[in-house]
Amino acid sequence: LKFRVIRSAIKETELFLGMFWETAKLSQIYAEAKKLRNSPLAEIFRSGYIELEKVRKLATSPMQDLGQASSDLDLISPIMGMGNIRRALEQAMIAERTRLEKNLNFLATTGSTSPFIGLFGTVWGIMDAFRKIGVRGSTNLATVAPGISEALIATAAGLFAAIPAVVAYNYYIGKVKNLSSEMDNFSSGAVCLALASEP
């Protein structure tokens, strides 16, 4: 599941970036970005564009329609508009990071706890083997070996679960960090410049 989410995010992000740099009109980029639901950059752009449209409507609305005094016109300034857009971009970035990191905690928990669960099973099996030794009163290999070999199965099972979980967690967290860096660069640079320069 995580593999599909990350793969589609990377693929659609590449498509969006190509389209973003080749298209001049923001409205056209917005229409195309709606199709790329798995791209975090497309989602960030959509959030910024929606906020830009809100700021434009406020700036072009007659003051009497807003029920405000003319002295309040300073509130709808380009600086405040960019502040609102930046906040929208930040919120979109947080939401996208949360979406991309979803269920990664399960892998981290599996990787960190499985060896201990396996160790607990091993200790329990060895305790059982020693109990059998006490009951039989003999310490030969035929008495000890079966119990200890069964006990080590729990350790092997714990490692069998933990190793792939840790590898997968590190792989996916690396991909999420790369996408997060792209989101930071995109939102701080390209989107703000494009939104600010759009007439």
Predicted pLDDT of residue 87: 85
Structure tokens at 18: 């190509």
Predicted pLDDT of residue 178: 92
DSSP H stretches of helix in the chain: 2-22, 26-33, 40-60, 63-66, 78-101, 104-136, 141-185, 192-197
Q: What does each of the 199 residues of the chain score in pLDDT, given as a tens digit?
A: 888 989 999 999 999 988 888 877 888 888 888 888 899 998 988 888 888 888 777 767 655 444 544 444 444 455 566 777 788 888 989 999 999 998 899 989 999 999 898 888 888 888 887 887 777 776 777 777 777 788 888 888 889 999 999 999 999 999 999 999 888 888 777 555 555 555 5
Q: Does this model's pTM top 0.75? A: no
Predicted pLDDT of residue 171: 93
Nearest to 87 by CA among 32, 127, 47: 47
Predicted pLDDT of residue 166: 93
Neighbour count for residue 148 (Cβ, 10 Å): 15
How many residues can be counted in the chain?
199
Predicted pLDDT of residue 153: 86
